[in-house]
Amino acid sequence: MTMPYYVAPEQVLKDRAEYAQKGIARGRSLVGTVYDAGVLLVAENHLRTLHKISEIYDRVAFAGVGRYSEYDQLRVAGVRHADTKGYAYSREDVDARSLANVYAQYLNQVFTHEMKPLEVEILVAGLGVDGDAHRLYHIAYDGTIVDEERFIVLGGDAEAISQRFEQVFVPSWSLGEALSACVTCLAGPDRTLGPDILEVGALAEGNGRRAFRRILGEELASLLDASG
Amino acid sequence: MTLPLFPAEQDPGPNFAGMLERSAPWALPLRCSGSGTAPPGAQPAQPAGLAGAVAGTLQVPHGTTIVALRYDSGVVVAGDRRATEGVSIAHRGIEKVFPADRFSAVAIAGAAGPAIDMVRLFQTQLEHYEKVEGSVLSLEGKANQLAQMIRANLTMAMQGLVVIPLFAGWDHRRHQGRIFTYDVTGGRYEETDFHATGSGGRDAKTTIKLGFRDGLTRHQGVELAVEALYQAADEDAATGGPDPVRGIYPIVATVDDSGFERLPDGEVAERFAAVLAHRQPPPDGAGGAGRHGGESRRGDGRATRGRSRPAEGASIDDEAALGGDER
């Protein structure tokens, strides 16, 4: 009679974590920060039509790094969750916190019960209502969730970029200032990032009911030029 | 609520109603028959008897007159504000014209409850598609989507809860405003210039027919829509006219290449005032009452005729003159 191998649970989880981290580290990083009109999301993305940053609902945005197919599946699920809630109850009842929790539960469940963890890290951003603080939720591959009111960095290089960003962060900076800081910190000391490999989205007051918009093309180039 | 995730072979894609059927059937609108794709667990939202009972014994609010017409750079969509239950007024301020998304509008006539449900589902569906797919449906695609929803309502329609929307929007590919009408079976027809439906639709449509010509400006288009609603309210008891006492005015909206825009109530009020001023008899009293055949059709004065209105014969003359000028 053969006995199944015994592997300590600590070892199983450690292996899975390592696997997920490796997958995430292969991708490029992303920064989400608050600025004077809302939340700015900036990613280094060499793909033109496959987005890392997207709209979920009126005042909720999504960003993901890691394996595209996996975080895009999460994005679509988030849109479905939000649209269902907004349709069944009311548009006002859709918020970032509840969505972030659902994501965290799902990622945790996959991490502990499935063979392969998801190789993703995601960010859920919520625009504050009536002067409340904007919220940024960071959800890791294992379902660990953190909420922030200032900024969040996702991706393999997150630690180094976070340290750089901490030094320059100003809570009420303008769109241009925030953007240029994000780009500089994402690039690091040895590189520069042009508008053609940046993906930028903003969740801001003044865009109407749907607060999310992409900052593209000429607008992006001129914002980057203006800030040097 | 958990995260709505589906195995690849059962994924509903950008279909919001299809997704609801699988993940939240409790949120689906009133429907007599479940569609064939519903999983065995999802029961039809309502037993078939209910709509029959509703239509037979209960009065439900009905929306009445809606109009749409094309002008040189877009479309006007307008609707009165009245809902009726039999011969009573159910609501004075109901809204029947809605933005479907940024570049299209949907207006409803028929059973108000299911119609408003349908609009909400349609609006959500268009935005859902846009977010899931990352691209906006074509105007034609939106019109077909609405046809599917009307078709899904067919069983209810057979039992009396008929919903007939009107869909209009700006087509970015053709650079023109387009109008789509429907029948209860979900049949979809494109109108070249204008359409009106609901209980006062016939009167409204005749008014537009007389005043319509190619290349109307936005201002003229709005004026004609307002005139049409005025005429419908004049002839049809179920259609509400402007209500200055309560400050309730029909909804008038336009869709052009800058998107959906609802005219402020103040502006609609001004347009109605202009229509009324146009109908005042000349000061010398030469209104020409009774010299037109219209008077015999209408018989003696209707109880609902406003005191300040001129004799009906005058307005018929005005319209004939208007129509004559245009040809």
Encode pLDDT of B114-164 as tens digits.
Answer: 899 999 999 999 999 999 999 999 999 999 999 999 998 888 888 888 888
Residue B72 CB neighbour total at 10 angstroms: 14
**First and final CA of chain A: distance in angstroms?**
71
CATH code assigned at A131: 3.60.20.10
* Interface check A106 vs B, CB under 8 A: yes
- What pLDDT was estimated at residue B87? 87
Contacts of A209 (CB under 8 A, 6+ apart): A58, A91
Q: Greater confidence, B156 or B191?
A: B191
Contact A78 B20 (CB under 8 A): no
Q: Does residue B98 form part of some domain?
A: yes
Tell me the chain B residues in contact with residue A87 when contact means C-beta distances shorter than 8 Å: 16, 20, 27, 120-121, 124
Residue B272 CB neighbour total at 10 angstroms: 22
Give the integer Cα–Cα distance in Å for A139 and A147. 9
Helices vs. strands in chain B: H and E counts, helices first: 10, 13
Residue B148, burial from CB neighbour count under 10 angstroms (0-12, 13-18, 19+) = middle
* pLDDT tops 60 at residue B327: no
- What pLDDT was estimated at residue A228? 62
Q: Does residue B42 form part of some domain?
A: no
Mean pLDDT score of chain A, rounded to an integer? 93
- Residue A35, phi then psi, degrees to nearest 5: -140, -175
Q: Select from A61, A70, A20 the least CA-distant residue to A43.
A: A61
CATH code assigned at B170: 3.60.20.10
Q: Does residue A3 form part of some domain?
A: no
Residue of B nearest to A62 (CA): B131
Rounded mean pLDDT, B204-222: 95
Q: Does residue A35 form part of some domain?
A: yes
* pLDDT tops 60 at residue A107: yes
- What pLDDT was estimated at residue B259? 95
Residue B244, burial from CB neighbour count under 10 angstroms (0-12, 13-18, 19+) = exposed
- What pLDDT was estimated at residue B30? 63
The helix or strand, by DSSP H or E, that contains position A40, with its residue range, turns out to be strand A38-44
Give the integer Cα–Cα distance in Å for A88 and B158. 26
Q: Greater confidence, B304 or A3?
A: A3
Q: Greater confidence, B48 or A102?
A: A102
Residue of B nearest to A51 (CA): B134
pLDDT, tens only, B59-112: 788 888 999 999 999 999 999 999 999 888 999 999 999 999 999 999 999 889
Rounded mean pLDDT, A132-148: 95
- CA B229, B235, B237, B242 torsion-angle sign: positive
pLDDT, tens only, B237-269: 999 999 999 999 999 999 999 999 999 999 999
Mean pLDDT score of chain B, rounded to an integer? 82
Considering only CB atoms, B124 lies closest to which of A54, A76, A83, namely: A83
Identify the band that residue B58 occupies on the pLDDT scale cut at 50, 70 and 90: low
Q: Please give the structure tokens belonging to residue B303.
A: 């109880």
Rounded mean pLDDT, A165-184: 93
Buried b or exposed e, range B212-239, using 16+ CB within 10 angstroms: beeebebebbbbbbbbbbbbbbbbbebb
Q: Does residue A2 form part of some domain?
A: no
Q: Give me the catalytic one of B37, B57, B64, B124.
A: B64
Q: Select from B30, B97, B100 the least CA-distant residue to B63.
A: B97
Identify the band that residue A153 occupies on the pLDDT scale cut at 50, 70 and 90: very high
Give the integer Cα–Cα distance in Å for A41 and A52. 10
Identify the band that residue B42 occupies on the pLDDT scale cut at 50, 70 and 90: very low
- What pLDDT was estimated at residue B323? 39
Give the integer Cα–Cα distance in Å for A178 and B103. 32
Q: Does residue A128 form part of some domain?
A: yes
Q: Does residue B39 form part of some domain?
A: no
Q: Does residue B156 form part of some domain?
A: yes
Give the integer Cα–Cα distance in Å for A134 and A125. 8
Q: Does residue A1 form part of some domain?
A: no
Of the listed ranges A117-126, B36-45, B119-128, the one predicted with least confidence:
B36-45
Helices vs. strands in chain A: H and E counts, helices first: 6, 10
Specify whether the CB–CB gap between A98 and A5 falls below 8 A: no
- What pLDDT was estimated at residue A4? 78
Contact B124 A86 (CB under 8 A): yes
Judge if ipTM > 0.90.
Answer: yes
DSSP A48-81: SSS-SEEEEETTEEEEEEE-HHHHHHHHHHHHHH
- What pLDDT was estimated at residue B221? 96
Overall number of domains in chain A: 1
pLDDT, tens only, A24-60: 998 899 999 999 999 999 999 998 889 999 999 999 9
Specify whether the CB–CB gap between A139 and A104 falls below 8 A: yes
Task: Give, in order, the Cα–Cα distances in Å from A100 to each of A40, A106, A132, A144, B31.
Answer: 18, 10, 18, 10, 33
- Global pTM reads 0.85
Domain that holds residue B185: 56-277
Q: Greater confidence, B271 or B37?
A: B271
- What pLDDT was estimated at residue B46? 46
Contact B1 A106 (CB under 8 A): no
Q: Please give the structure tokens belonging to residue B304.
A: 């609902």
Task: Give, in order, the Cα–Cα distances in Å from A166 to each of A10, A50, A152, A216, B150.
Answer: 33, 29, 10, 26, 55
Domain that holds residue A165: 9-226
Rounded mean pLDDT, A116-143: 94
Residue of B nearest to A214 (CA): B134
Of the listed ranges B33-37, B98-102, B216-220, the one predicted with least confidence:
B33-37
* pLDDT tops 80 at residue B53: no
Q: Does residue B286 form part of some domain?
A: no
Contact B1 A81 (CB under 8 A): yes
B117 to chain A, closest Cα gap in Å: 10
Q: Is B239 a catalytic residue?
A: no
Helix, strand, coil fractions of chain B, as percent rounded to 5: 40, 20, 40
Contact A83 B128 (CB under 8 A): yes
Q: Greater confidence, B42 or B188?
A: B188
pLDDT, tens only, B288-323: 444 444 444 444 444 444 444 444 444 434 443 343
A170 to chain B, closest Cα gap in Å: 32
Give the integer Cα–Cα distance in Å for B138 and B167. 13
Q: Greater confidence, B194 or B33?
A: B194
Specify whether the CB–CB gap between B310 and B279 falls below 8 A: yes
Rounded mean pLDDT, B229-244: 92
Q: Select from B189, B231, B187 the least CA-distant residue to B209.
A: B231
Q: Does residue A33 form part of some domain?
A: yes
Overall number of domains in chain B: 1
- What pLDDT was estimated at residue B29? 74
Q: Please give the structure tokens belonging to residue B232.
A: 């419908």
